Structure 1
Amino acid sequence: MTDHPLDPVARAALWLSHWTIHQANHVRPKAEAEGEVKVGGHQASSASMVQILTALYGHSLRPEDRVAVKPHASPVFHALHYMAGNIDRDRLERFRGWGGAQSYPSRTKDVDDVDFSTGSVGLGVAITSFASLVQDWLHAKDHACPDWPMGRMVALVGDAELDEGNVYEALQEGWKHDLRNVWWVVDYNRQSLDGVVREGLWERVEKVFDAFGWRVLRLRHGALQRAAFAEPGGAALRAWIEACPNADYSALTYQGGAAWRTRLMDDLGDQGEVTALIEARDDADLAALMENLGGHCLGTLCQAFDAATEDDVPTVFLAYTVKGWGTPLAGHKDNHAGLMTKAQFADWQAAMGVAESAEWDMPAAAETLRAAPFFARGPRRLTAPAVPVGLAIDVPDAEISTQAAFGKVMDGIARAGGPLADAILTTAPDVTVSTNLGAWVNRRGLFAREDRADVFAEARVPSTQKWRFGPGGSHIELGIAEMNLFLLLGAAGLSHSLFGRRVLPVGTLYDPFVSRGLDALNYACYMDARFMVVGTPSGVSLAPEGGAHQSIAQPLIGLSQDGLAAFEPAFADETAEIMAWAFDYMQRDGDAGPDPHTWLRDATGGSVYLRLSTRPLEQPGIRADKDWRQGVVDGAYWWRPPTGRTTTVIAYQGAVADQALAAAHRIATPGRDVAVLAVTSADRLNAGWTAAQAAWRAGQGATSLIKRLLAPVPRDAQLVTVLDGHPATLAWLGAVHGHRTTSLGVEHFGQTGTVADLYRHFGIDADGIVRAARA
């Protein structure tokens, strides 16, 4: 290691990260449960990042910069923030345990200033590009927080993460939007989970980044190596190092100085000057020289980062490292999940000069780190005031679909202008027009950092779409990549915390393609990002399009995804009510307990998923009573309430409303009442029901909304549930009070044909509902 002011910090970070992992696995009392698995912690993957993280946090970063840390470098991240005073010792002692520091950095579960959660590899890398785009969007509109300057979005990337396809989708999207102020630092240790990275990857990486307009800085050699290259014989040594296969370099690193000497003398000996260069160093010095790669040299790293601060060009730093650097595990191909044994660790502790009982005390390093510019402002979780919603949009009472109603609500917001319209950022993966955002975009424009003319308008070519690009635009048009959509929604949905300004992101996509971006959707929800995603068109109601565009499982995704309130309205007025509620819900951040009416924790807020349809329905007329409005956002209301003579309850969700109502009319007789339950959110009903059940098991009194709604239904009555989606979405309703239940829906890929053809085929038309009720 060269002499650098941050060397003590790097050494302390290496020690503390490994001690945290070691004590979790070998010192902390084990759970008594038989078969308890190892705790783990990725000592080797942490070690390769020590100098990179130290150079960034101790020298280059500023408070306004935002960082996504490679998942397996979590222990080093925690160690640095422990020395900076952002996390206490108790949480490190409980690393990977209950209430302790997380295995991978988490915005919602860690306390030490995590900017972006990581763990689903690749996503933490790509989101930095979209965070930079959101930052540009805010600054172009003068929405930026006045005392929070523009910062860099930095990703610390494992080289194996470059196998993830979403990384390259993000690179292409960044190129389209003139990406800037982004750094990706690649930990190029040339080892993945299962082995050694194939030769020549760096050449491909450089070509890809260069093609998309990034600056590529290759940090291959540290200061010791560069000094040796200047010695007589150094050119031959450099050529050997740069030609050495990855697997050989790793194996020799693991074997140590004697092995390096033997191999170098075999390959380069008897060449006079280079032989003298090798023999001038003992085994320890020779090993230190050969392991002095650019990613382990603080001087090299700091100089490279300083050089890249002179402009805002997106930059990738290809930092060569050794996996397990500085430990007995260095270079071994099996070291990814490996742990030092107790004996190995004891020897290593002695070599590190750390006394027993002083394992957590690094006062000098902590003092140096706390003086770094990054930590000058303390914790960097910002806040932003709520945007008043005040949404009062007239919806038509003629025949209309929920997708068209969504478009009219958005157009009404755009036409009204004001704080709500100014806070909304819309986006779509090349389906803006076909998801009914066209009117919004015509009024609000598309975002670009510089004005771009609408060529068709200038040439007076008739078109319904006015595609004006400029800094004032509210819509960000994406290519066909749903992962990018959800990453942008995630980044924009964190704007209040990252940039101190509230953004209300609304993204639209074809409902079946929610599954394409599911990992990124889950990732955004895990970070507690706030956004509205609109899946439309949905179901077999999109009849002529065929099975490829007809969604089946999406209602179950909405039902099961944490952090996401899913709705499927049937009518325009329901759509408007839900959207008004959603824009408020997306901004909530309270800590109140469950609402006794629904047993939902609505005070905490969250994101919203609307599943909409292109199928127009005759509208029910003006409905504005308080109970109906509350029922719409809570998840259900009685269209036709039950009586003591009710023999059948039809519970529907979404576009099959007319079929359910027609069936109820046909089934009802003077002695046979039929009740109709309009479900707008199976998700919220189910969440309240399960939460209330858990409360009862814990000895608390709790009654969910669905339990109260179904309480008047006679116990011998039957339930028939129906929706244009998987029948399991509503099948659980029978378990609330034990009613006999028949669940109708779609379980197989759709067909082409008319809506009537497909509804009949799947038994979700009025005839099918009647048959189910009479069976």
Structure 2
Amino acid sequence: MTQSHLRTIEQRLLWLSHWMIHHANHIRPKVDGIKVGGHQASSASMVSMMTALYFSALRPEDRVAVKPHASPIFHAMHYLMGNMPREKMENFRGFGGVQSYPSRTKDVDDVDFSTGSVGLGVAITSFASIIQDYVTAKTWGADVPKGRMIALMGDAELDEGNVYECLQEGWKHDLRNTWWIIDYNRQSLDGVVREGLWERVEKIFDAFGWDVVRVKYGALQRAAFLEPGGETLQQWIDACPNDLYSALTYQGGAVWRERLMEDLGDQGDVSALIDGRDDTELAALMENLGGNCVETMAETFASIDHDRPTCFLAYTIKGWGTPIAGHKDNHGGLMTKAQMGEWQQHMGVPEGQEWEPMATVADPEALTRFLGEVPFFAAGPRRFNDAHLQVPKIGLQSDREISTQMAFGKILDDLAKGSSDIAQRIVTMSPDVTGTTGLGPWVNRRGLFARTEQPDMFKERKIPSTAKWEFSPEGQHVELGIAEMNLFLALGAAGLSHSLFGKRLIPVGTVYDPFVNRGLDALNYACYQDARFMIVGTPSGVTLAPEGGAHQSVGTPLIGMSQDGLAAFEPAFVDELAVIMEWAFDYLQKDGSGDPDERTWLRDETGGSVYLRLTTNPIEQPGTRNDDAFRQGAIDGAYWLRPPGPNCEVILAYQGAVAPDVIRAAGLIGAARRDVGVLAVTSADRLNAGWTAAQRARAHGQRDAISHIERLLAMVSRDAKMITVIDGHPATLAWMGAVVGHETVPLGVEHFGQTGTIGDLYRHFGIDTASIVEKVNGLTFGAKVPVHGPLG
């Protein structure tokens, strides 16, 4: 009975998914005059394995990343289960309708992992499994049931490099409880997959300790192989090229018969096997590959009785069960209206019942009872949460020269000494730059994570070292290889722990700031899922001067400004960093909704992730500052380090490590220019976001909406000139001139640097004290300011 129900569900999902796509492209009124799309063929190839997986194999604690192009099957499944309203389905790929690809944040059904950027949804499942091991190894997470982290992927996704990067990381961390199910339909967008790919796939997975299960033949084929002549038929199938198999599938049973008889001739038994089936039955037999047989897939999943990582190589027909099955153009192709009409008759769906979940079902009551008892769905929605962790007071001040990178390490070290809830839940990670990005003290106190204990051999042999590399299940640092894509995928998985496993983590990752770019796709992917983490890019700018242009970052401040879901900061002083980190640990946990804060017009109540751009350049600190204006300004994005006077002629606005040069320049020009103001910007991102949000609010009738940057600059005459300075791309701050209308000269770094001292490079790029003074002189009339003086 179970197999019968699975076959019924399979056919229902096949129809509903394809009708949804057809409706969006051929029935719903066209607005833009372009194809809506929806990948009918890519959905069809996965319908059997998804039916077997969700309605037979899965448990509530399992998590699945669905192949992006199989999203219509996923949505149809939730519609069948009553978890998706019809109006959402009718508006597929429309505004407010179900998304093109499964989205945790924009779909209403129970999406575990967003997918869409090919390969990333696959790789994140391995990191989610590692994070699950991390959580369950802790006393506070021991009650979490271990589930399987499962990726449904197309064979073309094996072209993505991040898939292989994460395989190596999984091997190093003794990966468990991970399934990857490959839709091996051997067709991609632009062609047919090369012959013999399966052999390479099996060797790669085997090398990294995975079990590989090849699912090539369906139940009909396996039964036929037992008949007289069946062995010969199997040999023909195994030898048939991928493109020929696809072409014959599209042409149908009569052509199958012609080609088989042509190749095999009259061989008695095998001829009788073929002749014993009419054209329809023969086509069904030849298209009954393992991945298109729900019975075979259910049996295969049920046969796995261990927790080793497993790759299922499931052979399928792209477009299986539809009129476009096998055609080389079917990836983005759609059934025509005529084809859909014929297929509707073939599927037995009465006209007017196209959206009816139980149309064509012989016994709706029996199927409804079966659906109500499916284990995976019985537990209801599987989105969890965890208590908000109280953030301890973070205070760090210094009278000596210190870099923000060193200050970051000291803040974490102070937390590591304590027993706060935040300290217990912080998990750090870094792509082979742990010691050089400030995490060393934290790791020495809190240890490295591994599923089994591994002693520090240098310590055991009494060899002096500043690093203590002891691995244990209690450790709180996950050491990663040098691949930045893996870092952001791991941060994304850890940043979803509260939702996936019901246990909140505070993930903190460090990376050389220029190499944020190398993991940018995965960073965007993590933010799109609303994962919560802190990423620290250090050292930044050209301050790692002797390393040259390859290790110097230019455009990362613009990434921080443009990346949705990420609040970017670049503090210059340690007290700013302490205030920001205290705020950030709370911000990472927020999940509220509602109107923006009318003080800044930022949606801080919704929370998000945080990016800190730090530097190794030690600078003199300003001394003790505890006033509320400074603290709030550091969080909101800016404050007046030197308030402008009533007759201000020049504003110097800076972000980050150039603070000393700007401060010296302000002292030099102060004798000749009246009431010079120095604006310390800690977050161009938050200033800009608040400014644009306030403008939108005013456009909607809230005329008194004023952003933080508008409030700060309102006290300065429009006739004043503005010089903006940053060790990064000058566009980061250049927009500030448009807030009130100040004439603005943006200074920054626009080109790759070279080796030298910081002073050399600051002079080369024109962001040193002398250059700032010269720019001011170029803007004003009257007496010139000397470029050297007692503060120069």
TM-score by length of 1: 0.98
What CA deviation, in whole Å up to 9, does each residue of 1:561-582 have, x standing for no partner? 0000000000111111111110
What CA deviation, in whole Å up to 9, does each residue of 1:300-336 have, x standing for no partner? 111111111x110000000000000000010000000
Which one is further off, 507-516 or 384-393?
A: 384-393
Matched, 1:634 2:646: no
Which of 605, 608, 615 lines up with 2:607 in the alignment? 605
Q: Hey, what's the Cα distance between the residues in 2 that align with 1:746 and 1:480?
A: 27
Q: Hey, what's the Cα distance between the residues in 1 that align with 2:775 and 2:666?
A: 12
**What secondary structure sits across from 2:180 in the alignment?**
strand
What CA deviation, in whole Å up to 9, does each residue of 1:186-242 have, x standing for no partner? 000000011110101100000000000000000000010001111111111101101
Matched, 1:395 2:397: yes
Please give the residue correspondences for 1:90-129 in structure 2 after superposition, counting only pairs within 5 Å: 90-129=87-126
- Name 2:675's counterpart in structure 1: 673
Q: Hey, what's the Cα distance between the residues in 2 that align with 1:671 and 1:457?
A: 61
Please give the residue correspondences for 1:556-575 in structure 2 after superposition, counting only pairs within 5 Å: 556-575=558-577
Please give the residue correspondences for 1:232-631 in structure 2 after superposition, counting only pairs within 5 Å: 232-308=228-304, 310-363=305-358, 364=364, 365=367, 367-631=369-633
Please give the residue correspondences for 1:648-667 in structure 2 after superposition, counting only pairs within 5 Å: 648-667=650-669
Tell me how far 1:477 sits from its aligned partner. Answer: 0.2
Matched, 1:42 2:77: no
Tell me how far 1:396 sits from its aligned partner. Answer: 2.7
Q: Hey, what's the Cα distance between the residues in 2 that align with 1:530 and 1:671?
A: 46
Tell me how far 1:449 sits from its aligned partner. Answer: 0.3
What CA deviation, in whole Å up to 9, does each residue of 1:477-510 have, x standing for no partner? 0000000000000000001100001000000000
Which of 700, 725, 741 lines up with 1:738 in the alignment? 741
Tell me how far 1:671 sits from its aligned partner. Answer: 5.5
Q: Is the 8 A contact 2:395 2:579 kept in 1?
A: no
Q: Hey, what's the Cα distance between the residues in 2 that align with 1:263 and 1:742?
A: 74
Q: Hey, what's the Cα distance between the residues in 2 that align with 1:109 and 1:370?
A: 26
Tell me how far 1:5 sits from its aligned partner. Answer: 3.0
Can you give the 5+ residue segments of structure 1 that lack an aligned partner in the other structure?
A: none
Q: Is the 8 A contact 1:222 1:300 kept in 2?
A: yes
Q: Hey, what's the Cα distance between the residues in 2 that align with 1:772 and 1:495?
A: 50
- Name 2:161's counterpart in structure 1: 165
- Name 2:788's counterpart in structure 1: none
Q: Hey, what's the Cα distance between the residues in 1 that align with 2:635 and 2:503?
A: 27
Q: Is the 8 A contact 1:9 1:366 kept in 2?
A: no
Tell me how far 1:725 sits from its aligned partner. Answer: 0.1
Q: Is the 8 A contact 1:641 1:676 kept in 2?
A: yes
Q: Hey, what's the Cα distance between the residues in 1 that align with 2:3 and 2:495?
A: 43
Matched, 1:763 2:782: no
Tell me how far 1:30 sits from its aligned partner. Answer: 2.1
Matched, 1:7 2:7: yes
Mark the CA change 1:379 to 1:3 in structure 2 (over 3 Å): closer, same or farther: closer
Q: Hey, what's the Cα distance between the residues in 2 that align with 1:453 and 1:631?
A: 46
Q: Is the 8 A contact 1:478 1:485 kept in 2?
A: yes
Q: Hey, what's the Cα distance between the residues in 2 that align with 1:244 and 1:266?
A: 13
Mark the CA change 1:519 to 1:129 in structure 2 (over 3 Å): closer, same or farther: same
What CA deviation, in whole Å up to 9, does each residue of 1:614-653 have, x standing for no partner? 0000011111111100000110000011122111000000
Tell me how far 1:3 sits from its aligned partner. Answer: 6.0
Q: Hey, what's the Cα distance between the residues in 2 that align with 1:144 and 1:84?
A: 31
What CA deviation, in whole Å up to 9, does each residue of 1:232-275 have, x standing for no partner? 11111101101110000000000000111011001112211111
Q: Hey, what's the Cα distance between the residues in 2 that align with 1:603 and 1:389?
A: 16
- Name 1:28's counterpart in structure 2: 28
Q: Is the 8 A contact 1:145 1:501 kept in 2?
A: no
Q: Hey, what's the Cα distance between the residues in 1 that align with 2:397 and 2:299?
A: 60
**What secondary structure sits across from 2:561 in the alignment?**
helix
- Name 2:787's counterpart in structure 1: none
Tell me how far 1:29 sits from its aligned partner. Answer: 1.9
Runs of 4+ in structure 1 over 6 Å off = none
Matched, 1:225 2:211: no
- AA in 2 matched with 1:150: K
Aligned residues: 769
Q: Hey, what's the Cα distance between the residues in 1 that align with 2:468 and 2:3?
A: 60
Q: Hey, what's the Cα distance between the residues in 1 that align with 2:3 and 2:52?
A: 14
- Name 2:134's counterpart in structure 1: 137
- Name 1:774's counterpart in structure 2: 777
**What secondary structure sits across from 2:247 in the alignment?**
helix
Which one is further off, 292-301 or 469-478?
A: 292-301
- Superposed CA RMSD in Å reads 1.1
Q: Hey, what's the Cα distance between the residues in 2 that align with 1:320 and 1:371?
A: 29
Q: Hey, what's the Cα distance between the residues in 1 that align with 2:530 and 2:407?
A: 28
Q: Hey, what's the Cα distance between the residues in 2 that align with 1:389 and 1:712?
A: 35
Q: Hey, what's the Cα distance between the residues in 1 that align with 2:16 and 2:673?
A: 76
Q: Is the 8 A contact 2:394 2:579 kept in 1?
A: no
Q: Hey, what's the Cα distance between the residues in 1 that align with 2:645 and 2:396?
A: 34
Q: Is the 8 A contact 2:19 2:354 kept in 1?
A: yes
Q: Percent identity?
A: 68
Q: Is the 8 A contact 1:294 1:300 kept in 2?
A: yes
Tell me how far 1:299 sits from its aligned partner. Answer: 1.6
Q: Hey, what's the Cα distance between the residues in 2 that align with 1:17 and 1:159?
A: 21
Tell me how far 1:392 sits from its aligned partner. Answer: 2.6
**What secondary structure sits across from 1:714 in the alignment?**
coil
**What secondary structure sits across from 2:540 in the alignment?**
coil
Please give the residue correspondences for 1:720-731 in structure 2 after superposition, counting only pairs within 5 Å: 720-731=723-734
**What secondary structure sits across from 2:649 in the alignment?**
strand
**What secondary structure sits across from 1:356 in the alignment?**
coil
TM-score by length of 2: 0.96
Q: Hey, what's the Cα distance between the residues in 2 that align with 1:565 and 1:181?
A: 34
Tell me how far 1:450 sits from its aligned partner. Answer: 0.2
**What secondary structure sits across from 2:667 in the alignment?**
helix
- AA in 2 matched with 1:349: Q
Q: Is the 8 A contact 1:49 1:187 kept in 2?
A: yes
Tell me how far 1:359 sits from its aligned partner. Answer: 1.2
What CA deviation, in whole Å up to 9, does each residue of 1:428-469 have, x standing for no partner? 000000001000000000000000010000010000001000
Q: Hey, what's the Cα distance between the residues in 2 that align with 1:298 and 1:644?
A: 78
**What secondary structure sits across from 2:5 in the alignment?**
coil
Please give the residue correspondences for 1:687-702 in structure 2 after superposition, counting only pairs within 5 Å: 687-701=689-703, 702=705
**What secondary structure sits across from 1:673 in the alignment?**
coil
Matched, 1:87 2:75: no
Can you give the 5+ residue segments of structure 2 that lack an aligned partner in the other structure?
A: 359-363, 779-792
